[in-house]
């Protein structure tokens, strides 16, 4: 950019404003443009819009740099956290209280089974699973016995 003491034409200022609007200027160039706009008397829709945008941007920067310390900010944050935790707890309790034992729908051969039939099917499946687990436990015990026999045989042969 030219030095601020040099005179700009309105076309140059509008071009710089357009670059500003297109986010093509560095922070330093934006600052220089803002200075030029404040020092000049140019008047066009683009220049006026750029001035307004810079004013809004400046006000946000000022608000962002000024921390707001209030006596109530910390207690309000704690209260908000407590409300969120209590709300989550209440929602969880509501979900648990609304559980039914019969909230599962079972179809057998394409026809809906009654709750009693569903319970019988579930009990039969649990019994089958227990039998399977007993068979697995027996096989594990047999394998363990074979390993122990093998280890005893190796230890005796030494």
Give per-residue pLDDT as tens, 21-57: 888 888 888 888 888 888 888 888 888 888 888 887 7
Residue 5: pLDDT above 50?
Answer: no
User: How far is the CA of 48 from the CAs of 2, 41, 90, in angstroms?
Assistant: 21, 11, 54
As a residue count, the chain comes to 158
Whether residue 50 contacts residue 79, with contact meaning beta carbons closer than 8 Å, is answered with no
> Hey, which bits of 27-86 come out as E strands?
none
Q: What is the pLDDT of residues 80-98, one digit of tens each?
A: 888 888 888 877 776 665 5
Q: Quick check: pTM over 0.75?
A: no
Q: Which residues pair with 111 in a beta bridge?
A: 108
The stretch 114-143 carries a mean pLDDT of 88
Domain boundaries, the chain: 10-65, 107-157
Instruction: Specify burial of residue 26 (Cβ count, 10 A radius: 0-12, 13-18, 19+).
Output: exposed
The helix or strand, by DSSP H or E, that contains position 98, with its residue range, turns out to be none
CB-based contacts of 104: which residues, under 8 Å, 6+ apart?
118
Please state, for a pLDDT cut of 70, what percent of the chain lies above it. 80
- 117 versus 66: the higher-pLDDT residue is 117
Residue 121: pLDDT above 80?
Answer: yes
Residue 64: pLDDT above 60?
Answer: no
């Amino acid at each position: 950019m030219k030095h601020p003491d040099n005179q700009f034409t309105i076309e140059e200022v509008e071009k710089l404003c357009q670059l500003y609007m297109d986010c093509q200027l560095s922070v330093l160039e934006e600052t220089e443009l803002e200075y030029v706009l404040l020092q000049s008397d140019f008047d066009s829709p683009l220049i006026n819009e750029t001035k307004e945008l810079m004013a809004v941007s400046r006000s946000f920067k000022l608000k962002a740099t000024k921390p707001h310390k209030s006596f109530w900010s910390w207690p309000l944050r704690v209260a908000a956290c407590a409300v969120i935790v209590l709300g989550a707890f209440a929602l969880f309790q509501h979900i648990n209280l609304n559980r039914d034992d019969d909230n599962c729908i079972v179809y057998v051969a394409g026809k809906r089974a009654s709750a009693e039939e569903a319970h019988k099917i579930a009990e039969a499946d649990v019994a089958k699973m227990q039998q399977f687990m007993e068979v697995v436990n027996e096989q594990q015990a047999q394998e363990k016995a074979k390993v122990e026999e093998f280890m005893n045989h190796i230890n005796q042969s030494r």
